[in-house]
Amino acid sequence: MKITAAQALVRCLELEKVDIVFGYPGGAMLPVYDALYHSSIKHVLVRHEQGAVHAADGYARATGKVGVCMATSGPGATNLVTGIANAYMDSVPLVVFTGQVPTSQVGTDAFQEVDITGITIPITKHNYLVKDPAALPQIIKNAFHIASTGRPGPVLIDLPKDVAGEMIDFYYPETVRLRGYKPTYRGHHNKIIEAAELINRSQRPVIYAGGGIINSGASEELLELAELISAPVTNTFMGLSSFPGDHPLFLGMLGLHGTRYANLAVTECDLLIALGARFDDRVTGKLAKFAPHAAVIHVDIDPAEIGKNVPVHVPIVGDVKLVLRALLPLLKKTDRSPWLDRIRELRELFPLRYSREDGLKPQYIIEELYRHTGGLATIATDVGQHQMWVAQYYRFKRPRGLISSGGLGTMGFGLPAAVGAQLGLPGQQVILVTGDGSFQMTMQELATVREQDLPIKIFMLNNQSLGMVRQLQEYYCEGRYMAVDFKFHPDFITLAGAYDIKGYTIQTEEEARQVIPEVLAEPGPVLVNCLVSPQEKVLPMVPSGCGIDETFES
- Catalytic machinery residues: 49, 111-112, 161, 468
Residue 125's alpha-carbon distances to 85, 122, 155, 210, 344, in angstroms, are 11, 8, 6, 20, 43
What are the φ/ψ torsions at residue 530 (nearest 5 degrees)?
-95, 110
User: What is Dmax (Cα atoms) for the chain?
Assistant: 72
| Start-to-end C-alpha separation, the chain | 70
Q: Of 261, 258, 296, give the one whose Cα is nearest residue 278.
A: 296
Q: Using CA atoms, how far apart are residues 282 and 304, in angstroms rounded to an integer?
A: 19
Q: What is the dihedral of CA 330, 334, 340, 342, to 10 degrees?
A: -100
Looking at this protein, which amino acid is placed at residue 192?
I
d(CA 229, CA 195): 13
Q: In a 10 Å sphere around its CB, with 0-12 CB exposed, 13-18 middle and 19+ buried, how is residue 311 labelled?
A: exposed
Q: What single-letter DSSP state applies at residue 314?
A: E
Pairing of strands 42-45, 20-24: parallel
For 14-41, the DSSP string reads HHTT--EEEEE--GGGHHHHHHHTTSSS
Q: Which residues of 446-458 are buried (b: 16+ CB within 10 A; e: fewer)?
A: bbbbbebebbbbb
H/E segment holding residue 165: helix 161-165
Query: What sign does the CA torsion over 138, 140, 146, 148 have?
Result: negative
Candidates 47, 41, 37, 33; CA nearest to 12 is: 41
How far apart (Å, rounded) are the C-alpha atoms in residues 124 and 128?
Answer: 10
Q: How many helices (H) and strands (E) does the chain have?
A: 23, 20
**Looking at residue 222, what DSSP letter applies?**
H
Q: Which helix (H) or strand (E) holds 96?
A: strand 94-100
Of the candidates 465, 201, 170, 217, which has an alpha carbon nearest to the alpha carbon of residue 336? 201
- Contact, 221 vs 326, CB < 8 A? no
CB 267 within 8 A of CB 343: no
Q: Provide the 10 A C-beta neighbour count for residue 517.
A: 12
CA 2 from centre of chain: 41
Cα angle 52, 410, 458; round to 5: 70
